[in-house]
Structure 1
Amino acid sequence: MSKFVPARASLAALAFALAIPFQAQAAETENEAAQADSAIQADAADDQGDNVIIVTARRRDEDIQDVPIALSVIDAAQVDSQGLFNINRLTQIQPTLQFYSTNPRNTFVNIRGIGAPFGLTNDGFEQGVGIYIDQVYYNRIASATLDFVDVEQVEVLRGPQGTLYGKNTTAGAINIRTRAPSFTFEGRAELSVGNYDFKQAKATISGPISNTIAARISLSSTDRRGTILNVKTGQNVNSLDNLGIRGALLWQPSDSFKVTLSGDYNIQDPICCVQIYARVGTTQRAANRQYAALIARFPGYAVPSTDPFDRVTDLDANIRARNEHGGVSALVEWELGKFALTSVSAYRYWDWTPANDRDFTGLPIFLKVNNPTQQKQYTQEFRLNYEAERLNFVVGAFAFYQEIRTQGIQEQGPAASAWLLNPTSALSNNPAVLNGVVANNDIRLDNVSLAAFGKLNWKVTDAFTVSPGIRINYDKKDGQYDSVVTGNASNGTRQIVSNVPTSPFFNDPWIAAQRGVQASQFFEVDFSDWNLSYDLNLGYEISDAVNAYATYARSFKTGGVNLNGVPSRADGSAALEVAVIKPEKVDHFEIGLKTKFWDNKATLNLAAFWTDIQDFQASVISNISGSNVLRGYLANADKVRSRGVEADFRVQPSDRFTAYVSGAFTDAKFVRFVDAPCPPELAGGTTVSGTQVPGPAATPGALSPANCDVSGQWLPGVSKWAFSWGAEYNVPATVFGLEGNAYAGYDANFRSKFSSNASRSIYTDIDAYSLQNFRAGFRTDRYDFFVWIRNAFDEEYFESLAVTPGNTGLISAQMPDPRTAGLTVSARF
């Protein structure tokens, strides 16, 4: 439990106490309501009868139905009522959004099945879904795991957004906007409690300091004990322990000029993140080196349960996932007649302090596999907007600098020899051979990106608009990987474990055994490239209520460098030919239709898309000649494709009833990938050479292919079919003398079967599942009280399944939340 917990316990009580005097002061300042800014407009947007949604997807305010791109919006009311307090929760209402996280550093956000490769974290590559908060680009995907703090609106933009949102938005962007400081006093407070000792508190206060200066401060805290019991330590693991603070100061000396200074601090410090025993499959490894035989080498040991839904584990290493983010930004907005100038300056940092158990058992095989990381980023963006009757455009420039420093450690324990060495070797019976082998890693990346961009909207006729866009980008990355592995030689001395044949103790039997597991490596690598993104969007207004659009986009995701180590050649040197990852090149086609009908009480939006990606960045396994250790790294698959159709229907026939249904069919697959890593059932045996033929799948001792052709297979992580739906109904009611509405809501989602491995495996497909959520309560203009139940029918499913190292056949599971229930009380003034 973090040191902030005592403060959290009183957070909501403090907010409610502050509400009383502020309500009185607010009453005295009602005559200043005319000064209300966007924060008050946000309240109006929460009104159940308001069917106009304003978005900033194209860096200007527009009605969502007029924006010719595939776009979904989640407002503050939906975030609060459905418990969507981070991006992971958004997947329940966004059918084409995929989120997978085994810990904040190992997090992947995809849209339409593309964005990031599955299963391999690497400091030297970037995601394909851009995350922006208040116009600031968040490079590290770990920010996606943090709680939202005082969010006004979340926009999910689907498809490449390279001209306005930058190079690494080949799959889309998530644009988050928080509430701005207001020139009328206002406040919000919310407290939620539930099972598993769930406690969540939110509080916001905003108001004027002077006639030209306003301030806002917001806090959010989430705390919950873990949903998995570690029988070894007695701890409940995979807990929640989050705290977020955001402050903003607005200076607005005139209607045409304003400056917003913002700062935030966010910390997670849970007992997290563990993956537990899911199942065991048969590989091509020798029978005496597969899971059952290895476990048998430790008499008296057994996994605490072979049913993952018993939610128990016995991991014996320390567990921690401290994730700290923070930053400051300055947003300057200056209107000059038909022109508007915007400047966004920001500094952000990320500090990641983990502790993991990466043997996924209660045995002391690995005592530590941790990669603490620190990152700093600086960004500067300038934009000039022009707005006229027939023509508007935005031009701009963007600069980005980033430093990443990672200090990894991997330490093997007394069970490592029996687990990792060939049982036919006498050394496997000697715990001292691998016990105490330590790898200390120093990983460094300096990353520079510069861009110039422009987007034009030309209204050729009253109905027809042509919108070309262009962005030129320069990227430079300088990386260093330095792993020093030490172990005890057979004479008891401490020595460097090296791949270089001329190194001291190279032929020592203990050092040779250690080298077969892990060896030292050092290399430096750099990458630089220019890239051009461009798109053409055609919009046609068929009628006041029907808009059609068509888009072609050529985009890219920047190249990268492998900073988790690369295979070694026979002479022990690093295979630098695979140290650089080529950029992805994207061709995207999309057509869509946006409609309003029934006197604007209903909307139906349709989109069909086809995305081809050349040189898709994907996980591979080494087949470098002479390499003594199989090592995973990132390389390029020849081609992948994602195509499909999406539909989004929403209806609000009256102030009493709202409903929505969203669905997507996504066909995402590898078109050509002939040297992919093999699934576990085709791995682990002696690699074929010459004219040898691989043995049958899942046959112990069979020959294994060096790699596999997965052309035509599913991309991991994406379902062919995904749906979300829900409704809310309210009736007038009076409770405790308060006049308001009693209401009931229902939300659900469905995802069909999907693959959870880089190459599809018979052991890692995740079956279809559906989640049902209910809520019921009473609300007034000022108060809201409701009870909720999520995953109401306690659906048993996996968030992800992973192949554990060594091809032993053990499959680990990332477990989702079980059924949860609770009560939420909120007030605003």
Structure 2
Amino acid sequence: MASASNRGAWSSALIKIALSTSALTGVSAPALAQDTATTAAPSTVDPNEIIVSARRRSETLQDTPVAITAVNAAMIEDKAAVNIGDLMGTAPNLIITNQASGAAAANLSIRGLTYADVEKSAEPTVGVVVDGVFIGTSTGQYFDFFDIDQIEVLRGPQGTLFGRNTIGGVISIRRSRPTGKFGVKAEVSYGKFNTLATRAVVNVPLGDKLAVKGFYFHNESDGWYRQGQDGRRRGGSNNENFGVSVLATPTDNFEALLTLEKQVQKFDPVVSVLTNSSELFCGLAPAEQCNRNNTDDLYTVFGEPNTGRYSAPAATLEMNLNAGDVKLTSVTGYRKSKEAQTQDFDGSSTDLYYVFRGQKYNQFSQELRAAGNLSSSFDYVVGGYYFRSNYELDQFTRIFGFSPGVDPRAFDKNPQHVEGKTRSVAVFGDFNWAFADKLRLSFGGRFTRDKKSLSNAFGGVLIGQGSDSFKKFTPKIGVDYRPNKDVMLYASWSRGYRSGGFSPRAGSAASASRAYGPETVDSYEVGGKFDLIDGMLQVNLAGFVSKYKDLQQNNNIFCSSCATQNETVTSNVGSATIKGIEGDFTLKPAQGLAITGAVGLLKSKFKDFIVGGISPVTGAVIPFDFSNNDLIYNPKITASFGANYTVPTSFGEIVGNIGYRFIDRYDQQISIAGLTGNTTTGPAIVTGNDPRVRTDKQNLLDASLTTRFNLAGAEAHLTAFGRNLLDDRGPTHGFTVGGLFSFGNAREPRSYGLTLGIKY
């Protein structure tokens, strides 16, 4: 326990902090992770420090001039966290939801920057990087949290080191490496909704130079929806992820880590009805299936049975060579996937809009890096990157079929076929120069060239195709100042870039062959990191302004010449300004007790968001001004507060964990609530987004109690956990389709369960 003098200093410091800022936010408890691809961390690092690799270097969290939240394996275990969605709210201005229209698909937003789409041509604005490999689509991003060493959430553009399509930020996941010692880590969980999870990792040494790790994860659930007609469970899933990692260390200065894995998923991609009286499908469905609310009603569904199947093998090879003054790193990644999915998109019991989607996708990436020190005051990371991807989509649509027993592939004689390709090359450099006492300059940049092509056909007849190239230099510069060992202040400017492309849902020749351009973000940030009360309290603060230009937005419009009578076209639609404040704190007032908190504040505004829409008076295309609409996935406040308390016992220890997260309301789709202005010739003024695509305020309370003990020579733990204990119900996703119908998805209601695990 702290002495009386330390307690006085602690109280004084807390009062000063409370008076100076309202933006205290949460960082994880101490973690230790290694990035073998980077320069070594100082040998004098405090074992309680958090080591991160956000800048492709091993640095302590408090010495990194980047807004970052780190979560380590112990925290994940104590919180009974299941997947990447459990990070939402724990890091400031971070939103993560599961996208039901794709396998293991995630909608990600950092600092209000997002692009929520499951199409393979729609690259994310937030990069998910697993063991150094960028996942090129939202499919497969909803990641399992077993066998994780550390997760780092980097906020703001990360284009210099992590590449294009990271204008919002990066979630970097580093899994455990083979240990070279025999060991087993396994657990089984059972909970509400008949949820069963079994996971195991086995480490085996093969001599002094070779280590092997095998892993197997299984997760199944009946789902939390009920079928309105008979009450049975809907929305279930069965997931498998398995593989092997081999670490070879033939010499003291070289290592190679190869991971081969496969993810297999079978799931029911159910949606809930949100259609109302203003839409065509409402008149064709039973009355009780229209004008439903987007809270409790979401948990009852009426649609036909769906099946989604997903198979995704992958390989990652990381090699590191320590050549004296320079460390060389190669990261090679290959992923491919195959999907077959049926979905009743209108969600009603009337057969109105039912599809079969078959997709194939593959990506290959190669990164080469060199890192080192030119002097004691100057270090660098330089490298090159190559990425390619190919995908095919076949969609069969049964629209107004009124034939629920007919396979869409037999019904649709005019199916859509899309093929797309992406090729990208880049060179980059990132440098630190301690040019004066207590001052350091960080600077760098990346030059990227992308080439994309896409073709779109219906019924074997080519509608349109296009090919285009995009290139951009994205620089970054910053300075940090360390007046003493406990304080770091920094300021930076960086530019993020997201490549242009083509619209896969275009139904007309003109739309299918027309490329939309890149979008960019200029981010200006100032921040500070503070160690207080002899390391008992850590506080990190950041403020930023993001200038978002040439926004890429989906617009769903009526198309009389299109096979489906509507098309979704991506276009560049003006600009936006996003301002925010973030902070986090970790407080350890007593032995075994850690208290954390986080808050993020956002304020955003569109400018000159004008696109073509259909006049409700004449039916002609006229200008629609969406500038008054809210940006999607932009809650004004995200906040969290948590406490973790460990009590030693005669048989081991007991760990209690409680966490509260608040997510303010936010919209999920640019849509139309109403129109004012000139609705005949334009511009028509859109009064905001449709309220059905709005997520209400969320108050999420989670808790767990873990007992750790010895079991037959192994370390064992038994955890009782509860998630969303307040049973806060509402939507995670809502979508309206061109005046035809609307659908949504519900967030997980209250759940609970038990986990038994062993490790030896």
Normalised to the residue count of structure 1, the TM-score between the two structures is 0.79
Moved more, 757-766 or 339-348: 757-766
Alignment of 1:367-766 (within 5 A): 368-387=354-373, 388-415=375-402, 436-484=411-459, 522-566=463-507, 568=508, 574-576=509-511, 579-622=514-557, 629-675=565-611, 685-687=616-618, 689=620, 706-734=622-650, 739-759=651-671, 760-766=689-695
Letter in 1 for 2:436: T
Letter in 2 for 1:802: F
Change (3 A) 1:375 1:594: same
Q: How far does residue 439 in structure 1 lie from its aligned partner after superposition? A: 3.3
Per-residue CA shift, 1:536-564, capped at 9, x if unaligned?
02111121011111111122111111121
Q: How far does residue 155 in structure 1 lie from its aligned partner after superposition? A: 0.6
Percent identity, aligned pairs only?
Answer: 24
Secondary structure (helix, strand or coil) at the match of 1:750 reads strand
Moved more, 723-732 or 773-782: 773-782
Moved more, 814-823 or 234-243: 234-243
Aligned counterpart, 1:263: 260
Q: Distance in 1 between matches of 2:735 and 2:483?
A: 49
Change (3 A) 1:150 1:403: same
Q: How far does residue 110 in structure 1 lie from its aligned partner after superposition? A: 1.4
Letter in 1 for 2:523: H
Aligned counterpart, 2:241: 244
Alignment of 1:763-802 (within 5 A): 763-780=692-709, 782-802=715-735
Q: Distance in 2 between matches of 1:56 and 1:276?
A: 41
Change (3 A) 1:50 1:228: farther
Aligned counterpart, 2:751: 820
Alignment of 1:127-276 (within 5 A): 127-232=124-229, 235-270=232-267, 272-276=268-272
Q: How far does residue 688 in structure 1 lie from its aligned partner after superposition? A: 5.2
Per-residue CA shift, 1:434-482, capped at 9, x if unaligned?
x945431221112110011111111112411111111111111121111
8 Å CA contact retained: 2:185, 2:200: yes
Secondary structure (helix, strand or coil) at the match of 1:561 reads coil
Aligned counterpart, 1:329: 316
Per-residue CA shift, 1:367-412, capped at 9, x if unaligned?
x312221111111111010124211101100011111111111123
Change (3 A) 1:671 1:622: same
Q: Distance in 1 between matches of 2:383 and 2:127?
A: 18
Q: How far does residue 631 in structure 1 lie from its aligned partner after superposition? A: 2.0
Moved more, 401-410 or 309-318: 309-318
Change (3 A) 1:197 1:537: same
Q: Distance in 1 between matches of 2:207 and 2:35?
A: 17
Letter in 2 for 1:294: L
8 Å CA contact retained: 1:303, 1:313: no
Q: Distance in 1 between matches of 2:582 and 2:485?
A: 22
Q: Distance in 1 between matches of 2:602 and 2:33?
A: 41
Aligned counterpart, 2:111: 112
Larger of the two Rg values belongs to structure: 1
Per-residue CA shift, 1:683-722, capped at 9, x if unaligned?
7945455xxxxxxxxxxxxxxx845212143201221011
Q: Distance in 2 between matches of 1:126 and 1:443?
A: 16
Q: How far does residue 193 in structure 1 lie from its aligned partner after superposition? A: 1.1
Q: How far does residue 306 in structure 1 lie from its aligned partner after superposition? A: 4.3
Q: Distance in 1 between matches of 2:288 and 2:596?
A: 48
Per-residue CA shift, 1:183-234, capped at 9, x if unaligned?
2222211111112111112211113211111111122111111111224576
Q: Distance in 2 between matches of 1:234 and 1:290?
A: 24
Change (3 A) 1:707 1:151: farther
Choose which of 89, 100, 103 in structure 2 pairs with 1:102.
Answer: 100
Q: Distance in 1 between matches of 2:146 and 2:136?
A: 19
8 Å CA contact retained: 2:298, 2:730: no
Letter in 2 for 1:675: V
Q: How far does residue 604 in structure 1 lie from its aligned partner after superposition? A: 0.5
Q: Distance in 1 between matches of 2:619 and 2:483?
A: 61
Aligned counterpart, 1:66: 63
Q: Distance in 2 between matches of 1:792 and 1:676?
A: 45
Change (3 A) 1:720 1:314: closer
Moved more, 340-349 or 651-660: 651-660
User: Is residue 807 of structure 1 aligned with residue 739 of structure 2?
Assistant: yes
8 Å CA contact retained: 1:790, 1:820: yes
8 Å CA contact retained: 1:535, 1:552: yes
Q: How far does residue 50 in structure 1 lie from its aligned partner after superposition? A: 5.4
8 Å CA contact retained: 1:38, 1:182: no
Supply the RMSD in Å over aligned alpha carbons: 2.8
Change (3 A) 1:226 1:380: same
Q: Distance in 1 between matches of 2:61 and 2:506?
A: 45
Secondary structure (helix, strand or coil) at the match of 1:668 reads strand
Q: How far does residue 794 in structure 1 lie from its aligned partner after superposition? A: 1.0
Letter in 1 for 2:326: F
Change (3 A) 1:75 1:468: same
Q: How far does residue 127 in structure 1 lie from its aligned partner after superposition? A: 1.1
Q: Distance in 1 between matches of 2:364 and 2:257?
A: 17
Change (3 A) 1:378 1:765: closer
Q: Distance in 2 between matches of 1:313 and 1:484?
A: 36
8 Å CA contact retained: 1:412, 1:436: no
8 Å CA contact retained: 2:527, 2:541: yes
Q: Distance in 2 between matches of 1:392 and 1:592?
A: 22
Change (3 A) 1:756 1:346: closer
Letter in 1 for 2:571: A
Secondary structure (helix, strand or coil) at the match of 1:143 reads coil
8 Å CA contact retained: 1:51, 1:600: no
Secondary structure (helix, strand or coil) at the match of 1:575 reads helix
8 Å CA contact retained: 2:539, 2:585: yes
Q: Distance in 2 between matches of 1:37 and 1:636?
A: 40
Q: How many residues align?
A: 690
Choose which of 88, 91, 108 in structure 1 pairs with 2:88.
Answer: 91
Moved more, 228-237 or 66-75: 228-237
Q: How far does residue 265 in structure 1 lie from its aligned partner after superposition? A: 1.0
Q: Distance in 2 between matches of 1:329 and 1:577?
A: 35
Q: Distance in 2 between matches of 1:676 and 1:70?
A: 38
Q: Distance in 1 between matches of 2:747 and 2:437?
A: 50
8 Å CA contact retained: 2:453, 2:501: no
Unaligned runs of 5+ in 2: 1-31, 37-45, 672-688
Letter in 2 for 1:792: L
Q: How far does residue 676 in structure 1 lie from its aligned partner after superposition? A: 6.7
Q: How far does residue 38 in structure 1 lie from its aligned partner after superposition? A: 6.0
Change (3 A) 1:472 1:39: closer
